[in-house]
A and B are shown apart, each in its own frame.
Chain A
């Protein structure tokens, strides 16, 4: 990615299963992993949570310091502690958590976000420091500017206004680049990703899926090659998600789809109307077997529009 000149035309934005922007990250083993970038909304949510936790911590500290100052009868020592703690909290809350929690803060953990090194290597302490020191101008400067804008009128107004415009550009930076990098990510070489969590469910083509003995898993319906050449991978995987949802209930859809497929492949017979799940499942297994066989021979039929 380049900021100023782009030699090659922009490739289209890829999206993962959850609608997040996907990006390839090549591991040291040389395998390209698909990483889901965090949404700007998710990151804003994590930031709000963290700021909330900081505010709570500040209130708790203030109370603690007042009580402590009363106990040791030295309000000055308590003041020293308060100023130091506030400074540490403001400047190093994010840094310390990201160092201790491997790239996560409490807010990020709740939102399932994670900071990683953009080029696939390790996340260094320096990178964590750099990305969080930048928050001085990204968060705390806008906050103090808001206060300043309220206090100052007239002469100072223009200075404040131009500062607000500049800070606005800085804050909106994640909207203007493909990797949704904020200024801190830019100077630290980091990227914020969504931590995936997909579950492995039973294979529809395996015997377990139907809850029967392997011997009984023989298909009831058999299809000809011409009947299998009607569809491609896209339709196969749509059918897969439909069957997975169908197992949880809601069989009306299955009947409709079974009827449509039967019409399309010119199926003769009527039993699929009452037995639509098994009919579709058998068709799924047969189609997958056919398409996977083709794949082994080096042909991927992406959808029904590709030549069989």
Chain B
């Protein structure tokens, strides 16, 4: 009588397939799908579907708790191996730079514009206050950051910093550049991550960043050195500020999808915008690398103000052109596929 139990018969017929799937999945878990041969890769989804239908049958006819539990775990493991793995793209780096990054940045243009506006407001505030009363400078710029460039310093000293005749730091250029890159990139990631707090810290960070810039401009402008400082700052600043604004825009995009979710609902919309924002941040990290190189090398090597402005404008045009023109049209299909 025992032998005629349906669930026993069912298991006897299917067990070989389950064991085979378990073996393949076990190997793929340890060494990745590369450990499987072409035939085995072909076999895997078939065995998986068979086991999945087996699970449905087992749930409805078998009361053997061990079999049902085993099937649940086997199917989940196979599912993880087959579906839950990372999406493998063809030419991932090329797709990222030529389609994904610029198109994602274009989609967040409103948040990026708002981030730029906040930075501008901060700069104007810092500039006008410092112009009125140079004591405001100390409010916006810490002494550690000023490195002697304060209202107390003589105009000659201030000038010496920007034309490169006086070194602000004794560390060699390479270290300076790399340390700046790492520091700025982390600030950028911060601006992104803080978007989670409804964007309030992001707005604050962007504004403060603007006031510091404005305070320096105000100090130098009050000594008639505004134009020279502009060149000194913007040679890397056009890239660096742009990257900070992109990160801020990414943070604001997260906040926006959380406070004003789309039709998908709050969590889904947060997840979707979070992934896009992360893409922007990775783009910005690479911009910080470029900015660090410009700041560490180009600024110290090029001391002519006109050339500095030319490099600054050139970089800005380059970035704007890249983000607005590249990957239009044909980009839609792969981007949609990645986001789904």
State the A residues within 8 Å of B (CB): 1-4, 17, 25, 27-29, 31, 33-35, 76-77, 79-80, 83-84, 86-87, 91, 98-99, 102-103, 114, 116-130, 133-134, 136-138, 141, 166, 170, 183, 186-190, 195-201, 203-207, 214, 217-219, 233, 236-237, 240-241, 244, 285-286, 288-289, 291-292, 295-296
Contact = CB atoms under 8 A, between A and B. Distances in A.
A124 B64 contact: no
A200 B193 contact: no
A126 B278 contact: yes
B10 to A, nearest CB: 10
The listed residue with most B CB atoms (<10 A of its CB), out of A98, A119, A130, A183, is A130
Contacts of A296: 6, 61
B185 A196 contact: no
A29 B65 CA distance: 24
Interface string B236-256: 000000000000000000100
B329 interface: no
Given A125-B87, A166-B197, A198-B73, 10 more contacts: A31-B52, A31-B55, A76-B174, A122-B85, A125-B89, A130-B277, A195-B29, A205-B8, A205-B64, A219-B2
Contact of A205 (B7, B87, B279): B7
Interface string B203-214: 000000000000
Interface stretch (B76-84, B117-125, B217-225): B76-84
A210 B61 CA distance: 23
Contacts of A116: 80, 84
B189 A136 contact: yes
Contacts of A98: 86
A196 B72 contact: yes
Interface in B51-72: 52-53, 55-56, 60-67, 69-70, 72
B169 to A, nearest CB: 13
A45 B1 CA distance: 50
A119 B61 CA distance: 29
Interface in B19-45: 19, 22, 29, 32
Nearest to A281: B2
B66 A83 contact: no
A186 B274 contact: yes
B143 interface: no
A241 B65 contact: yes
Contacts of B189: 91, 133, 136
B338 interface: yes
A289 B5 contact: yes
Given A31-B56, A196-B77, A205 B5 contact: yes
Contacts of A84: 178, 182
B63 A136 contact: no
Nearest to B55: A31
8 contacts: A27-B52, A31-B75, A83-B182, A87-B182, A102-B86, A124-B87, A189-B268, A285-B5
B302 interface: no
A187 B32 CA distance: 27
B275 A188 contact: yes
B267 interface: yes
A125 B86 CA distance: 7
Contacts of A126: 275-276, 278-279, 338
B82 to A, nearest CB: 9
Interface string B298-312: 000000000000000
A110 to B, nearest CB: 14
A99 B65 CA distance: 36
Contacts of B273: 187
Contacts of B91: none
A196 B87 contact: no
A295 to B, nearest CB: 7
B175 A217 contact: no
Nearest to B173: A76
Contacts of B84: 102-103, 114, 116-117, 122-123
B281 interface: yes
A151 to B, nearest CB: 13
Contacts of B314: none
B321 interface: no
A241 B92 CA distance: 50
A205 B2 contact: yes
A165 to B, nearest CB: 12
B170 to A, nearest CB: 12
The listed residue with most B CB atoms (<10 A of its CB), out of A2, A29, A166, A285, is A29
B64 A288 contact: yes
A80 B177 CA distance: 9
B282 to A, nearest CB: 6
A214 B193 contact: no
Contact of A187 (B86, B87, B277, B285): B277
